[in-house]
Amino acid sequence: MIKENVRGILESLSDNVVLVAATKTRTVEEIKEAIAGGIAVIGENYVQEAERKHDALGGIVPFHLVGHLQKNKVKKAVRIFDMIQTLDSGELAMLVNRECEKIKKVMPVLIEVNSAEEAQKSGISPDQVDIFLSSIIELPHIRIEGLMTMGPFSQDEEAIRSAFKRTKQLFDHIGARYPQLSHWQYLSMGMSDSYRIALACGANMVRIGSSLFGVRERNN
Ligand SMILES: *Cc1c(COP(=O)(O)O)cnc(C)c1O
């Protein structure tokens, strides 16, 4: 079933779109089935859970961190992940840079944008992204490759569309304004219920969980 779900979604995506399987709470067996169906990138939310799965899978696919990164987990996170999609503070950027320097790694990162401007959400407010970016652009051990956003916690398609459109505008604006960002390329937005809207708004990376694996238990 998982394999078929993956294939169905991959067939519907254009070639330039990266499908990230959002695998929080899923077992290693489920993840292996998704990989057999064609999944090439795993997205995990929690460092400890990701570490266990990363060890079990032996590095056959890259792991992206798509959940909030706590400062005390940075050291471990930079060893496991191939991209951090949720860079959302200058302090975190410094810590990631410092830990990566120690292991001689350059970490691809996306800046998380709070496109819905909901107070309880993490992410940089859209009008602060430019100044945030200029404050971290010189860090040698992070490589800024694009933006990630969750969008609003809402079923309101227009609210979702407007948050995604705004994020796409910001993505284009930054790409034009900072030509030195030579790896600027990813706009990560859209989940099971919203990825079609996100693609219509210009996303080229979508993070999908329940449409691949089935609905999760609540509270996960
Ligand atoms: C869980 C999760 C997803 C996928 O959500 P689904 O609704 O299961 O597709 C995408 N992005 C992030 C950051 C998530 O935590």
Q: How many Å separate Cα 102 from the centre of its chain?
A: 24
The answer to whether 92 touches 69, Cβ cutoff 8 Å, is yes
122 CB less than 6 Å from ligand 1?
A: no
Q: What is the pLDDT along the chain (220 residues), one digit of tens a residue?
A: 999 999 999 999 999 999 999 999 999 999 999 999 999 999 999 999 999 999 999 989 999 999 999 999 999 999 999 999 999 999 999 999 999 999 999 999 999 999 998 877 789 999 999 999 999 999 999 999 999 999 998 889 999 999 999 999 999 999 999 999 999 999 999 999 999 999 999 999 999 999 999 987 754 4
Ligand 1, atom 10, residue with closest C-alpha: 207
Closest CA to 63 of 81, 47, 84, 48: 81
For residue 191, report the distance from its CA to the centre of ligand 1, in Å.
Answer: 5
User: Whose CA is closest to 111, among 179, 188, 169?
Assistant: 188
- Residue in 207, 213, 217, 219 to alter for ligand 1 test, most ligand atoms within 8 A of Cβ: 207
Give the predicted TM-score (pTM) of the model: 0.96
**Ligand 1 atom closest to residue 212's alpha carbon, by position in its atom list:** 9
Residue 118 pLDDT: 81
